[in-house]
Amino acid sequence: MDERPTQKLAFVVGNSSYTNQQSIPSSNTDAIRFAAALKNLGFTVTEVHDVKRTADFWNIKFMPFLARIKENDFVVFFFSGHGLSCGGENFVAMVDLPKTIPESQVYDHLVAISSLRDLITSRKPGLSLFLLDSCRSIAGGIQKENGGVIDDITKGMAPIRTSIENVALGFSSDFGHVSKGRDSPEQMSYYTEALLAHVDDEGKEFSYIKRQTRRKVIADIGGEQVPWFSDSVSSEIYLKPSDQILADEKTAWSARLATGDYEQVWDFTQEYPVSRYVAAAKRWLAQHKTTASSTTKVSPQGLDNAFNLDEPNKRIEFLRTRTRKPFKRWQRGLQSTLRMWRKTAADRPGLNLHKTAHPRSFLPAEPWSGRRMSATRSRKSRWGLRPGSKVSWMRNPFARQSPISRRTDTPFRACRSQPSRHPISGCSSN
């Protein structure tokens, strides 16, 4: 059984000594102790402190870390420092953040959380966990181009989109609220302290850590600060899995592999995205991709919508044609009929060709009813169909049969054709 331990990577930032903003003595302590806890959990940690400029953060600190992320890795990003939200976007600040920022230079002075998330998830890690101990009081604001100040700057982080699979986020405060640090450099912030109280609990899922963190922060500050979490994951997150959890994971992989079923193995990759066996599972899927089912489950309503002529680029197919003319002539006639059909639909977009076809037109009243039509032109018909030739139209098997299919209501009469029944609809041809 192919087994390869998952790589665990962490990027930890602690910004404390701000030049133009209020300093946060506890931020560096937060980063140091959280990095030490992650190292004890088996993470390879990149730890940085007091990053001056945003350009330094991207080019010197973060991009080398990003290059080390591989598929199926477990990635953690932790930040402690100043942050804010503006225009629906969340930002964290480096230590040289000025008191006033021109609106056109927001991304030059601040790091957008969505940019971090998108860059990390582009490397296809198995799980991405973002923990942000930020959004304290920031002086100044963002200047508009006309000289005014944007008034929608919020101290708390804004709700963030988490539709990307296997991403979890944890903010130290709810939307519109500040998070509190500590004035002593020997102490941690309330949020980081609560996280570290349970982050190394063995066999505890991350949802348990979230609940305990919320309870402790609310109790310590008296409800003035409430941590906020959001995630889009299809699996359970364990920072320190127990031996029993690892054994269950191995049993699950052996059972899924023994079935030889493509969907079962694929489900394993979703349920255990950072498993020791997920790389082997994805290789198995790549080798057995051709054995996967080629059919797609479609609802009856979806199938009906697929035949809607009001939508462009819908193909019309003939299932069967009986004629004694040579194949090439039949083919030319079929192409001509299709061109006339499309031209009619294009010239009159509001016309419902299913129900409003003229009785003397070459178009059938309900082409999906399964009824055959016969050409009524002369022997030298422009469509290449001699009298009595039968054309079977594609039929929706889920559609209810319409009374128009009865012989008495049929607008076309078969010419020199023998009575017969359609093998699917059972409708008479004449």
Task: State the Cα torsion 20-26-28-31 to the nearest 10°.
Answer: -130
pLDDT (0 to 100) of residue 296: 54
What are the E-state strand segments in 37-154? Answer: 44-49, 74-80, 83-86, 89-93, 100-102, 110-112, 127-133, 141-143
| Spans of all domains in the chain | 8-241, 245-291, 300-409
Residue 8 pairs in a beta bridge with 74
User: What pLDDT score does 129 carry?
Assistant: 96
Distance CA 170, CA 399 (A): 50
The tokens of 91 are what?
A: 């930002």
SS3 for 316-327, per residue? CCEEEEECCCCH
pTM beyond 0.85, yes or no: no
User: Quick check: 428 and 420 in contact, CB under 8 A?
Assistant: yes
Cα dihedral value 359, 374, 329, 306, nearest 10: 70
Residue type for 404, please?
I
Q: pLDDT tens, position by position, for the chain (430 residues)?
A: 567 888 999 999 999 999 988 889 899 999 999 999 999 999 999 999 999 999 999 999 999 999 999 999 999 999 999 888 777 788 899 999 888 888 888 888 899 999 999 999 999 999 999 999 986 545 457 777 665 555 444 444 544 554 467 899 999 988 767 777 777 878 899 999 999 999 999 999 999 999 999 999 999 988 888 898 988 888 999 999 999 999 999 999 999 999 999 999 999 999 999 999 999 999 999 998 875 555 555 555 565 665 554 544 444 443 344 444 455 666 677 777 777 777 776 666 555 554 444 444 444 444 444 444 444 444 444 444 444 444 444 444 444 444 444 444 444 443 444 444 555 555 554 4
Tokens of 425: 């609809």
Under CATH, which number does the domain 8-241 receive? 3.40.50.1460
Which residue from 312, 306, 369 is spatially nearest to 342, judged by alpha carbons? Answer: 312
Q: What is the DSSP letter of 58?
A: I
- The DSSP code for 233 is -
- pLDDT at 1 (0 to 100): 55
Sequence-distant (6+) residues with CB within 8 A of 64 are 46
Bridge partners (DSSP) listed for residue 132: 79, 171
Give me the amino acid identity at 327.
F
Residue 28 CA to residue 397 CA, distance in Å, equals 68
pLDDT attached to residue 47: 97
The answer to whether the beta carbons of residues 95 and 17 sit under 8 Å apart is: yes
